[in-house]
Amino acid sequence: MATNNVRVREPWPLDETDTVIVRQLQRDARTPNNQLAELAGIAPSTCLARVRSLVDRGVITGFEARVDPAALGLGLQALISVSVRSGARHRMAEFSAEMRRMPDVLQLFFLGGSEDFILHIAARDSAHVRDFVLEHLSAHPFVASTRTSMVFEHVDRAVTIP
């Protein structure tokens, strides 16, 4: 039996109406409730209740504005694979918490496999990438090695509703 749940979870069937609502909110989180209702073919008050329920059930986890790093002068992105020293394996949670406090870090993946972490960072230029790696990774007592790759293209899509 599937026992891998992080918290109690409703079985995932979104009905037709919820699916329409969620897809539209993925496209535009600020769609007015009455337009959303019309798209879904229900009354605005019903639609409001549906949206609230989707949030309460944890299907929708937030509404956020996307910001283009390049428009803020952060025109470069990199992925950095990080291997943790074997003696520091038990402190990876600590390392992870430290990394997510760095303003340059966009994403952190904690992995099973030959690499321990992948960091996705935004930077002004290659000197900024280099400084990040040297100051925050290579010099870090938990870090065994790193490998940096420049990101030429990044596609970030919303999860597709089945």
Partner DNA sequence: CATGAAAAGTCTAAAGG
Partner DNA sequence: CCTTTAGACTTTTCATG
Among DNA, a second copy, none, what binds residue 33 when CB lies within 5 to 8 Å by partner kind?
Answer: DNA
Closest separation in Å from C-beta 54 to DNA: 11
CB-based burial label for 119 (10 Å; 0-12, 13-18, 19+): buried
d(CA 74, CA 124): 4
Question: Which of these ranges, 40-48, 64-72, 95-103, 118-126, lies near DNA under the rule CB under 7 A?
Answer: 40-48
Closest separation in Å from C-beta 87 to a second copy: 20
- Residue in 34, 107, 145, 149 binding DNA, rule: CB under 7 A: 34
Among DNA, a second copy, none, what binds residue 109 when CB lies within 5 to 8 Å by partner kind?
Answer: a second copy
Cβ partners under 8 Å of residue 85, min gap 6: 141, 142, 143, 144
Report the candidate in 25, 92, 90 with the shortest Cα–Cα distance to residue 59.
25
Identity of the residue, 28 or 135, whose beta carbon is nearer to DNA in the bound complex: 28
